[in-house]
Chains A and B, each alone.
Chain A
Amino acid sequence: MDEALLRSLVPGVIGVLVRRGADFAAAEDAVQEALVEAVHSWPAAPPRDPRGWLVTVAWRRFLDATRAEATRRRREETVADEPPSGPVPSADDTLQLYFLCAHPSLTPASAVALTLRAVGGLTTRQIASAYLVPEATMAQRISRAKRTVSGVRFDEPGDVATVLRVLYLVFNEGYSGDVDLAAEAIRLTRQLAAAVDHPEVAGLLALMLLHHARRAARTAPDGSLVPLAEQDRNRWDTALISEGVQVLQAALVRDRLGEYQAQAAIAALHADARSAAETDWVQVVEWYDELVRLTGSPVVRLNRAVAVGEADGPRAGLAALAQLDDALPRHRAVAAYLHEKDGDRTTAARLYAEAATRAGNTAERDHLTRQAARLNSADGRADDFPAIPESVLQDDPKEIPCPRSCP
Chain B
Amino acid sequence: MAKYLMLKHYRSTSKSLDCAPMDQWTPDEVSAHIQYMNDFAAKLTESGEFVDGQALAPEGTWVRYDGEGRPPVTDGPFAETKDLIAGWMAIDVDSYERAVELAGELSAAPGPGGQPIREWLELRPFLGAPPTVTE
Interface string of A44-68 (1 = CB under 8 A from B): 0000000000000000000000000
Question: Given A132-B51, A134-B45, A134-B50, does the pair A394, B131 have CB atoms closer than 8 Å?
Answer: yes
A153: Cβ under 8 A from any B Cβ: no
Q: Report chain A residues within 8 Å CB of B45.
A: 134, 136-137, 140
Which of the segments B15-23, B101-109, B122-130 contacts the partner chain? B122-130
Q: Are A131 and B1 in contact (CB under 8 A)?
A: yes
Q: Is the CB of B48 within 8 A of A109?
A: yes
What residues of chain A lie closer than 8 Å to B1, measured between beta carbons? 108-109, 112, 131, 169
With both chains docked as a complex, state the minimum distance between the C-beta of B97 and any C-beta of chain A, in angstroms: 8
* Distance between A228 CB and nearest chain B CB, rounded to angstroms: 7
Known: A133-B51, A138-B48. A363 touches B130 (CB 8 A): yes
Closest chain B residue to A171, Cβ basis? B132
Is A207 at the interface (CB under 8 A from chain B)?
A: yes
- A361 & B94 in contact (Cβ 8 Å cutoff): no
Q: Say yes or no: is A175 at the interface (Cβ < 8 Å to chain B).
A: yes
* With contact pairs A141-B48, A169-B1, A270-B135 given, residues A131 and B92 touching in the complex (Cβ less than 8 Å): yes
Q: CA of A174 to CA of B133 in the docked complex: distance in angstroms?
A: 9
Question: Which residues A127-177 have CB closer than 8 A to chain B?
Answer: 131-134, 136-138, 140-142, 144, 168-169, 171-176
Q: Are A390 and B134 also in contact (CB < 8 A) when A137-B48, A365-B127, A407-B95 are?
A: yes
CB distance from A200 to the nearest CB of B (A): 15
Q: For the complex, what is the distance from the CA of A112 to the CA of B46, rounded to whole Å?
A: 18
- B119 on interface, CB distance cutoff 8 Å: no
In chain B, positions 31-59 with a C-beta closer than 8 Å to chain A are 44-52
Question: Whole-angstrom distance between the alpha carbons of A175 and B128 in the complex?
Answer: 12
With CB as the reference atom, state the residue of chain B lying closest to A225.
B130
Instruction: Count residues on chain A whose CB falls below 8 Å from chain B CBs.
Output: 52
For chain B, give the interface size range. Answer: 20 to 34
Please pick, from B47, B127, B131, B133, the residue contacting A207 in the complex, using a CB distance under 8 A: B133
In the complex, A134→B3 CA distance in Å? 13
Q: Does the CB pair B135–A267 fall under 8 Å? A: yes
0/1 string, B89-103, CB within 8 A of A gives 1 = 000101100000000
Which A residues between 84 and 132 are near B, CB-CB below 8 angstroms? Answer: 107-110, 112-113, 131-132
Contact (Cβ within 8 A) B49 A137: yes
Flag if A394 contacts B130 (CB, 8 Å). Answer: yes
> Chain B nearest CB: distance from A398 CB in Å?
8
B44, B49, B130: the one contacting A361 at CB < 8 Å is B130
Q: Which of A107, A138, A174, A365 makes the CB contact (< 8 A) with B131?
A: A174
Q: Judging by beta carbons under 8 Å apart, are B94 and A394 in contact?
A: no
Closest to A107 in B: B94
Complex Cα gap A140–B41 (Å): 13
Interfacial chain A residues near B95, Cβ < 8 Å: 407
B16 to chain A, nearest CB (A): 24
Instruction: Find out whether the CB atom of B135 lies under 8 angstroms from the CB atom of A391.
Output: no
Which of B1, B52, B135 has the most chain A CB atoms closer than 10 A to its own CB?
B135
A395–B48 CB distance below 8 A: no
- Pairwise interchain contact B51-A137, C-beta atoms closer than 8 A: yes
A264→B47 CA distance, assembly (Å) = 36
Q: Is A361's CB under 8 angstroms from B134's CB?
A: no
Cα–Cα distance between A397 and B50 once the two chains are bound (Å)? 23
- Rounded to whole Å, the gap between the CB of B96 and the closest CB of chain A is 10
Contact B133 A263 (CB under 8 A): yes
A109-B94, A407-B94 given; A394·B129 CB < 8 A: no
Residue from A141, A168, A169, A174 within 8 A of B129 (CB atoms): A174
Among A140, A169, A171, A212, which residue has its beta carbon within 8 angstroms of that of B48?
A: A140
User: Is the beta-carbon distance between B128 and A361 smaller than 8 angstroms?
Assistant: yes
The answer to whether A172 touches B133 (Cβ under 8 A) is: yes
Q: Of the candidates B125, B129, B135, which one forms a contact with A395 in the assembled complex, judged by CB atoms under 8 Å apart?
A: B135
Identify the closest chain B residue to A207 (Cβ).
B133
**Contact residues in B for A394 (Cβ distance below 8 Å):** 130-131, 133-135
B100 CB, nearest partner CB in chain A, Å:
14
Q: Which residues of the other chain, B, contact A207 by a CB distance below 8 angstroms?
A: 133
What are 5 contact pairs spanning A and B, CB under 8 A? Answer: A133-B92, A173-B131, A211-B134, A361-B131, A394-B131
Query: What would 7 more interface pairs be, CB under 8 Å, given A132-B3, A134-B52, A407-B94?
Result: A134-B51, A174-B131, A211-B132, A212-B132, A361-B128, A394-B134, A407-B95
Which 5 interchain pairs have the tightest Cβ spacing? A141-B48, A393-B135, A172-B131, A140-B48, A363-B130
